Structure 1
């Protein structure tokens, strides 16, 4: 017999400090991710953030939901992003994932959105007949450095035997790329790199929200950067946690771009182990997108970052003109529950940025 237990902010806070939590055979949520959920400005006191599935008294699986607000005209509609779903292998075949999914949808009246899901999970969502696909974000991954000694052994273990030779090849390619880049000159506008919001950028974002389906503001950006889901590696990690919790390096970066002495654009990125992701571009776009692309190029090369992933179409038009080792198309897929789609209506334009949803934390 499968039973489901829901946890709101206060219940989740109690759970992660309990002896019961420490005795679970596998971890359903990291402590710092729980703190992030609890601190979410869009989360109400009674909103369900985590659902655990038990067979008798044994933990069998879990699903996490990240509350959010979607904008429709002058109103907001409470929604939830599915952020995790996992069933222990010992309990699979009992339709526990389907029960967790249905319960999450019931808790939010069907106002559920999903992104960054695996093909297997996507098949389950579509087979439930609860969701419809929404327009995907189109982007690109720009490769600035060669990392064959890291990439090839992951794809095929046979390459592990050649890592020293691949490392030498990488060093040679990257040295050549660095020399070639020095031959090009850019007339940059003034820009500044900061690792957390300062007063100037916070005020700027407050008057230059994303103005899309979610209108990200200063309070939300401060919450995202103040409560990351990934921390730099610690000596003790959650046992058998299936989602990102720690890594060698993870940080948020803001690039402040000035026109003359006036702040005109703020770019927000994450950098994780040599991969940078552009999440938001606050402020001027259009003609300034070319400047943003040039400054991103300079930042990426200065910090020896290997890959930049961007879904900003205007910035990408200019990044496409910059010399890189390789460019690869990327897509971010979205599924929306039919109930939410009906509430929003046929004329609603689902307009999202790369930083919207749970993906901004990973």
Structure 2
């Protein structure tokens, strides 16, 4: 039993190998491997996966995603997954993350860390962490049937009855959403959907990304959209993987918001089974009112069930103003970087929600 590494250049052949086919659970999904193989920021010699197995039994793994520091071009790595078997992998969590730090050249960051993960990493004395970052999850429609089915798959026959309740509750609360839809349409900028990032959008993103820690260019946005990490599948899971990866639907859309033809904002909105997130957004803070109304108009028209957002300006606005949320709750995350790249992070201390793996999942 030893720690093994898979390089970016070896990902495609690894998921076709007999070793991968026999491993259970899998240390990487096929979609994630193909996506990372096409990473425009990666060299073929960069390490993408570290894992430990006892024969065909997976005991633990950690994933690395090569990125680059904004406007410096310095390679850094995002830790996108980290898992150890709860019984047979005890004692492997810290060695795996230490190996990840080593393989990254001590240039590792975590865009979204939980308090529990943060406490483990602090014991290594190799990381600096941000203050808690507050986000909002706003619930827009009732979807108790989906929640019930995810938690109690063996009671699938009851989901139809619960779903009928969702239909009734959503019918009764429709006037509430209709009121906000009309209100937001009045204040919305002109919304234009983008398939690719052209010169105008690229220059706009560059203008408003000065404090972003991670570089995002047209090639990155093309990669995000073309190579998601999720398995879109309506039946049983095709194979075991320790993290959620099978969904009924997933999509990533890009929009520019205009006023009288002038570009005012760029926003990326993802949809994972009717959960909307905003992995990337760029705008002038003076336009916050119209930007929020534009985003919420899009989300209401698409009938998404809920929205998660961490952008500090948008969170502050939503906390201070009435929104079409039936219920809202606070989301907390931490960002952390290894001490060797902390000075670069402090110079550009903003990690967008998509700078980890959210944009792919």
- CA–CA distance in structure 2, aligned partners of residues 273 and 51 of structure 1: 30
Match of 1:82 among 75, 79, 91: 79
Offset at 1:56? 6.7
Instruction: Give 1:50-129 correspondences, 5 Å limit.
Output: 50-55=49-54, 59-71=58-70, 75-89=72-86, 91-93=88-90, 95-129=91-125
Offset at 1:234? 6.4
Cross-structure match for 1:360: 359
Judge conservation of contact 2:25–2:57 (CA < 8 Å) in 1. no
Offset at 1:226? 1.1
Q: Residues 255-298 of structure 1: CA distance to partner in whole angstroms, max 9, x if unpaired? A: 2211112332221011011110011113x322322112112222
Residue 117 and residue 156 in structure 1: after superposition, are their counterparts in 2 closer, same or farther (change >3 A)?
Answer: farther
Residue 294 and residue 106 in structure 1: after superposition, are their counterparts in 2 closer, same or farther (change >3 A)?
Answer: same
Instruction: Give 1:204-215 correspondences, 5 Å limit.
Output: 207-208=206-207, 210-211=209-210, 212-215=212-215
Q: Residues 6-56 of structure 1: CA distance to partner in whole angstroms, max 9, x if unpaired? A: 121222222112222212232111111111111112212221111122447
- CA–CA distance in structure 2, aligned partners of residues 89 and 317 of structure 1: 38
Judge conservation of contact 1:267–1:281 (CA < 8 Å) in 2. yes
1:134 aligns with 2:135: no
Cross-structure match for 1:45: 44
Secondary structure at 2:252 match in 1: strand
Judge conservation of contact 1:68–1:80 (CA < 8 Å) in 2. yes
1:253 aligns with 2:250: no
- CA–CA distance in structure 1, aligned partners of residues 303 and 68 of structure 2: 37
Residue 233 and residue 201 in structure 1: after superposition, are their counterparts in 2 closer, same or farther (change >3 A)?
Answer: farther
Give unpaired runs (5+ residues) of structure 2.
Answer: none
Cross-structure match for 2:349: 350
Residue 340 and residue 238 in structure 1: after superposition, are their counterparts in 2 closer, same or farther (change >3 A)?
Answer: farther
Offset at 1:103? 1.0
Comparing 262-271 and 166-175, the one that deviates more: 166-175
Secondary structure at 1:270 match in 2: strand
Secondary structure at 1:287 match in 2: helix
Judge conservation of contact 2:28–2:241 (CA < 8 Å) in 1. yes
- CA–CA distance in structure 2, aligned partners of residues 20 and 154 of structure 1: 31
- Give the TM-score of the pair, scaled to structure 1: 0.85
Cross-structure match for 1:270: 270
Comparing 142-151 and 261-270, the one that deviates more: 142-151
Offset at 1:241? 0.9
Residue 135 and residue 118 in structure 1: after superposition, are their counterparts in 2 closer, same or farther (change >3 A)?
Answer: closer
Offset at 1:121? 3.6
- CA–CA distance in structure 2, aligned partners of residues 299 and 262 of structure 1: 19
- CA–CA distance in structure 1, aligned partners of residues 247 and 152 of structure 2: 22
Residue 174 and residue 16 in structure 1: after superposition, are their counterparts in 2 closer, same or farther (change >3 A)?
Answer: same
1:333 aligns with 2:334: yes
Comparing 205-214 and 7-16, the one that deviates more: 205-214
Cross-structure match for 1:241: 241
- CA–CA distance in structure 2, aligned partners of residues 39 and 121 of structure 1: 29
Offset at 1:66? 0.8
| Residue correspondences, number | 354
Offset at 1:162? 7.5
- Give the TM-score of the pair, scaled to structure 2: 0.85
| Aligned alpha-carbon RMSD (Å) | 3.1
